Chain A
Amino acid sequence: DAKTTQPTSMDCAEGRAANLPCNHSTISGNEYVYWYRQIHSQGPQYIIHGLKNNETNEMASLIITEDRKSSTLILPHATLRDTAVYYCIASRQAGTALIFGKGTTLSVSS
């Protein structure tokens, strides 16, 4: 699976959009980009995933560049409860282990 690179930490004001970047320059054609988050002492929570088209669900939007070498997770209106470690993972979709890196610690403050 391709390696991903994320900033160690980010800050965001409550109510503003949080834009979390991820680089995956070695991603292969059959690898999807997955985003999970882990709030302290809980299990990882699935957020969204995509292959090459932008995706949106009730939690977030995922923007993938045309060359697929990077992506951005957007939380449109961050709340204090969005404070968590966010993981970007490049993985084949078919029944494989997810490889978690260190992720980005997002701190949302009022």
Chain B
Amino acid sequence: NAGVMQNPRHLVRRRGQEARLRCSPMKGHSHVYWYRQLPEEGLKFMVYLQKENIIDESGMPKERFSAEFPKEGPSILRIQQVVRGDSAAYFCASSQDYDQPQHFGDGTRLSIL
């Protein structure tokens, strides 16, 4: 039973570049959540998606960040024109249905040079 798969595990970008983080949910899961963990801080919710729909994006920064979960393929968190403050661990979670527990991947560590 494969868990939530995130790739890459580590990503290095220079300021101004784009970062694309991928998340493949557990088999049979159609709900995806993205969280961000800044150094020495707790996880903060960013966005909740269900296939092809954004359900809740209340935690997403207003600019440069976007997320999608297409009908086919993984969920993508995209950060345009990255800045040093975007350096963090980004975690994806999935659930089978809206009322089931969320299960997390091991994250993507994003470092901005």
Task: Give the interface of B toward A (CB within 8 A).
Answer: 4, 31, 33, 35, 42-45, 48, 50, 55-56, 58-59, 91, 93, 95, 98-99, 101-107
Q: Are B107 and A43 in contact (CB under 8 A)?
A: yes
Q: Per-position contact with B for A40-74: 1 when CB-CB < 8 Å, else 0?
A: 01111110010000000000000000000000000
Task: Report Cα–Cα, A96/B31, bound state, in Å.
Answer: 11
Task: Give the interface of A toward B (CB within 8 A).
Answer: 34, 36, 41-46, 49, 87, 93-103
Q: Are A93 and B99 in contact (CB under 8 A)?
A: yes
Q: Please judge, given known A-B contacts A42-B106, A43-B91, A46-B101, whether A95 and B31 are in contact too, CB under 8 Å.
A: yes
Task: Report Cα–Cα, A17/B51, bound state, in Å.
Answer: 42
Cβ–Cβ < 8 Å partners of A45 in chain B = 104
A37 to chain B, nearest CB (A): 11
- Of B31, B45, B101, which contacts A99 at CB under 8 A? B45
Task: Report Cα–Cα, A93/B98, bound state, in Å.
Answer: 8
7 contacts between A and B (CB under 8 A): A44-B93, A46-B103, A49-B101, A87-B42, A95-B50, A95-B95, A102-B42
Enumerate the 10 nearest inter-chain pairs by beta-carbon distance, A residue then B residue, closest first: A97-B45, A95-B98, A43-B104, A100-B42, A100-B43, A43-B106, A44-B104, A46-B101, A93-B99, A43-B91
Besides A97-B33, A97-B56, A98-B33, 11 new A-B residue pairs in contact (Cβ under 8 A), listed by A number = A43-B93, A43-B105, A43-B106, A44-B91, A46-B104, A93-B99, A95-B98, A96-B48, A97-B45, A99-B45, A100-B44
- Of A41, A42, A94, A99, which contacts B98 at CB under 8 A? A94
Cβ–Cβ < 8 Å partners of B95 in chain A = 95
